[in-house]
Structure 1
Amino acid sequence: MRDRKLHLVYSSTPSEVANTQRDEWGFQNARQLQLFDSFDKICIVLVPIAEISAHSFRKAIQEKNPLLIIDTRTFPDFFSIFSSTDEAFSDFRARGIEYKRIPLEPRGPDGDGWANLDTLRRLIGVYLERKAGAPVLLLTSTSKKSAQLAAKVPGYLSQEVAETHLEEFPI
């Protein structure tokens, strides 16, 4: 018995139009989507602490749901977001977020060398081994510092990580 509303029509000889369309497309856009996220790539969200509000920071933590926050500031404080640094740390612990501090500063006369980039690369490598799949928040002092890190970090991490995706925090 056959359903008259739906039936399969198949021809073993494709039309010229179909062949032309396939050649034009070239299968360059054809790609199988993965069922699960790839854990050999990482999403890093750059957050300039001095330029965001407490509400937007808490909203970002809730939406992004990170498992790791790396603070790159020389003198970290959370007074613009929390009432104290201890309150910030207890909030991170309650959410299951690991907090690490790695001050990243340009060094040398031209500012080309950066202190502690090796430590950052090792920490990201350990994080990838956990196969968490969650983004990492990289806290910076200003958007200028975020731009400097955005220019430096992906190339440096490419030695350890297959793919690095950077996001600027919307201000």
Structure 2
Amino acid sequence: MKVLVPLVLALGIATPAGALDAIGEIGANLDGEELNWQVMRQDDGSAMVQITDIGPLTMIELHALGDGSISIGLIFHGKPSGDTPPAGLTIDMRPDRGAMAGAVWESEEEPPQMSIDLLDLEDEGRIQASFAATLCRRDAPDDCRDVEGRIDTSLGAGP
């Protein structure tokens, strides 16, 4: 998943601004800093969202741009639903402003928590959820901060 982030970011930077439409948003409070990102879809229908089925697992990867970037990866055993919390969850943030700017903050030590209000994989798909985690700097693992946030986005299928 971490390999895809630079590729997605490069794609977002290389694509003309008029060719991108926001299909959702992710907002978070990272140790007092309010940060917001948009999940984007290009004119060709491709989105900064990837859903992959591998045997009994389903992986959903969300990438968004705004106040830097954020990547959220969810792993479900079997068919994902809002009634079942993800079996695996990772969060990586790269804020571009405030006291946390310039660092990569990732969930490594303590697993993040997520409460899913809506998860629909039919048609265009949608996820609405809240999350909480302790994120640590990749370059200084002892520097950790709490984050709480909210996801409300289409999963990108459709026109």
TM-score by length of 2: 0.29
For the pair shown, the structure with the greater C-alpha radius of gyration is 1
Q: Which has the higher strand share?
A: 2
Q: Which has the higher helix share?
A: 1
Higher RCO (CA < 8 A, seq sep 6+): 1
TM-score by length of 1: 0.27
